[in-house]
Amino acid sequence: VTPVLWHIVISHYSEKARWALDHKGIEWTGRTPPPGSHIPVALWLTRGRTATFPVLELDGEAIGDSTAIIAALEERFPQAPLYPADPTLRARALSLESFFDEEVGPFIRRFAFHGLRRDPEQFAAVGAQAAPALFSKLGPLATAYGRAYTGLRYNAADDAAADAARERALAGLDRLEAELDGGPYLAGDAFTVADLTAASMLMPMVLPPEGPIELDPVPDGLAEVRDSVRDRPGFRWVEEIYRRHRRP
Ligand SMILES: N[C@@H](CCC(=O)N[C@@H](CS)C(=O)NCC(=O)O)C(=O)O
């Protein structure tokens, strides 16, 4: 049976799971229920174990959390490995995966939504990419709902919290550059889960053309930060990793 991925188009955690599936050349089907239903749907699919998307249905099992999804894929589809064979490199790759998941992902999301919330027109444009049916049916109401939701759920309305989140995101870029140390990959001399995760988590800031978010123009709040880092080696590295390794 074809694996089914329950995902959110614009989400960087969903991007991780999609990228792993695509990297391994696995055929998959996507389901994208409307925003607001994610938590109950995820809980229902995983019988209360996971409240977030992505969730992957694989061989009759529902797996929540992008890290667990990649672990399951790695076991079930060993071709095009994302884990290094060498145990030391593997430990390094997994620890970088959790660093970018936990110390970078939530903060990028907060400051990106903070910037977006200030521009209702752009918010509507992104909303339409995330939930086309909902936004075409409800129009401005969907935008109001989305702004309220991201404010509450991701603390994206608070200016001070958004400033702090931007600093955390930039610290993630510092760490990326330090770990790369001028090299092309984070763990060994091949593309691994560490590279996939770092690039996915930084995607909402870098907005690579191969990624899932199209923003033209980039809203002011986000553009300011993006412009301030776009010549940095870490930013260019994310673009390059997307260009070379993100096959649709
Ligand atoms: N640790 C989880 C985090 C996933 C996550 O935070 N997903 C968010 C979207 S970016 C979500 O499903 N949110 C549901 C909601 O807040 O309504 C993973 O790696 O999969």
Cβ of 53 closer than 6 Å to ligand 1, yes or no, is yes
Q: What is the dihedral of CA 158, 162, 168, 171, to 10 degrees?
A: -160
Q: Given this model, what pLDDT does residue 10 score?
A: 93
Cβ of 11 closer than 6 Å to ligand 1, yes or no, is yes
Match 């884990």 to its residue by tokens.
83
Residue nearest to atom 11 of ligand 1 (CA): 52
| Least confident among 43-57, 68-82, 145-159 | 145-159
What's the gap in Å between 156 CA and the centre of ligand 1?
15
Cβ of 32 closer than 6 Å to ligand 1, yes or no, is no
Q: Given this model, what pLDDT does residue 133 score?
A: 86
Kindly list the distances between the CA atom of residue 163 and the CA atoms of 157, 166, 169, 170, 243, in Å, as whole numbers in the listed order. Answer: 11, 5, 10, 11, 30
DSSP-based three-state secondary structure for 63: strand
What's the gap in Å between 90 CA and the centre of ligand 1?
25
Residue nearest to atom 10 of ligand 1 (CA): 11
Match 């002011």 to its residue by tokens.
220
Q: What is the pLDDT of residues 215-236, one digit of tens each?
A: 888 888 889 999 999 999 999 9
Q: Is residue 36 predicted with pLDDT exceeding 90? A: no
Atom of ligand 1 nearest to the CA of 36: 17
What share of the chain has pLDDT > 70, as a percent?
A: 100
Average pLDDT over residues 78-102: 98
Q: Is residue 122 predicted with pLDDT exceeding 80? A: yes
Q: Is residue 118 predicted with pLDDT exceeding 90? A: no
Nearest to 17 by CA among 206, 107, 8: 8
Give, for ligand 1, the residue of 12, 13, 111 to mutate: max count of ligand atoms closer than 8 Å to Cβ.
13
Q: What is the band of 65 on the pLDDT scale with cuts at 50, 70, 90?
A: very high
More confident residue, 136 or 161: 161
Q: Give bridge partners of residue 31 from the DSSP assignment.
A: 6
Burial class (CB in 10 A: 0-12, 13-18, 19+), 137: exposed
What sign does the dihedral 71-77-83-84 (CA atoms) show?
Answer: positive
Cβ of 18 closer than 6 Å to ligand 1, yes or no, is no
DSSP-based three-state secondary structure for 35: coil
DSSP-based three-state secondary structure for 82: coil
Residue nearest to atom 14 of ligand 1 (CA): 52
| Whole-prediction pTM | 0.95
Average pLDDT over residues 23-40: 94
Residue nearest to atom 2 of ligand 1 (CA): 65
Q: Given this model, what pLDDT does residue 94 score?
A: 98
Give, for ligand 1, the residue of 52, 113, 134, 155 to mutate: max count of ligand atoms closer than 8 Å to Cβ.
52
